[in-house]
Structure 1
């Protein structure tokens, strides 16, 4: 199989942290603390961006079959909104880990404001080197986070280690469909990530780390194929965003979204929810 894991130069961890520190304010204002993509059923779906984004979080939670009281690790937890949603809707305990100090501070504030300070906690850290004891969690959520890892193998082994036997991991990522390896690597580099892998290219390292596949959902047309809806969300809130960040910043956001989602309109990039399990023995 042609491999996407050998091409391109990428930013180091400090650069990734800085990238997310700088984007925190706009992300917070634009989608109320949700920094991952959204899920619409079709072009006629009029759900606002925040509602569509929460749908994707529920897709992950349902795939994990989260149960009341379970311990969940959210790696690359962003501004904390998905962790708070999981705790609120599924009554689980969530620990979020993020390399961005600014995002962790905002996540802490959100949890306190929601009255969940004891149920949802966040810490600054690198999820490539987790210091939790073996078997600490029942489930791991990694939403659009693992593409910033230059070497997947040790990171996936670390996630495997902190899961109890039978624990589940669900990751969500854009996936390369019609794009070749070189074009996919170039696309990823343009947006600060290290990979744009196919589903098969995700499954191989997951299995090598010791996971067993439970299911995967390819929902590209309902996520990455909905680029015009993200742009519409910008225009709907243009006056509000411009008052806070200026017209130039809003124009830049729109242009970035148009460029990012363009391959989705031709089906060249999809979007997958992949759920795996640590074997019971």
Structure 2
């Protein structure tokens, strides 16, 4: 299983620098969207909310349950989950900049009584055993420098019977041409490799959903178009280098077809 070369402080520094761009121009969401087909006119914000709902629905999340959002980013998904499902949500991010913005967003949204954010590393969670009813990791495990350790931490903090839902861009086969899109990312894995990783950590895999055409294909076109629309503003505010690097990463991530790349939503349970 490939490991990440970046250290946690380097990953934190990357998101400290890049997250203000996502906050201002991508509505605070740092994951892909879900469009039913090419004619679906959902906005980027609505499509990302739709994908958040698809992932969380696999958990069977109930009102009042306590959810860990592992790699919560700028907090938009956690706030959406609390608002729609009535769950308590603790979001963790390794980036102090993200955590501060997420806290401010929770105050602005009126759900601060349900949502809280912490600076923490999912490789070493500051929570007791059996603390959470569920865990969600939306496109955040590609930053794991030790995936086995992160999944064992999820298992430790979940109560018996607790569920974890994960989503990620994946390779269709071990021979796929898919490569990691950004330096701080892991190499993409196959669905079978992800299922095996969760099982090795002690989980029982209960559901796998493959929706690459609705997520990967449609997101690529729309995110590249959005980036091009605001590239002048991005370059003026954040610099031409990071603006160009973000687009290059998008091109790397989205240039392949469904024969090479898919999108996986996986839900597993702690016995």
TM range (shorter): over 0.9
Cα deviation, 1:116-173, whole Å, max 9, x if unaligned, reads 2221000001111112111111110001111222222222111111111111000001
The residue aligned with 1:257 is: 250
- From 115, 118, 121, give the equivalent of 2:113: 118
Pick which of 69-78 and 145-154 moved more: 145-154
- 1:1-281 correspondence runs (5 A): 5-6=1-2, 10-178=5-173, 180=175, 183-184=177-178, 187-188=179-180, 190-226=182-218, 227-238=220-231, 241=234, 244-245=237-238, 250-263=243-256, 265-279=257-271
Decide whether the 8 Å contact of 2:148 with 2:197 is kept in 1.
yes
TM-score w.r.t. the length of structure 1 is 0.89
Root-mean-square deviation (CA), in Å?
2.0
Q: Distance in 1 between matches of 2:249 and 2:129?
A: 40
Decide whether the 8 Å contact of 1:94 with 1:120 is kept in 2.
yes
Q: Distance in 2 between matches of 1:9 and 1:67?
A: 34
Q: How many residues align?
A: 270
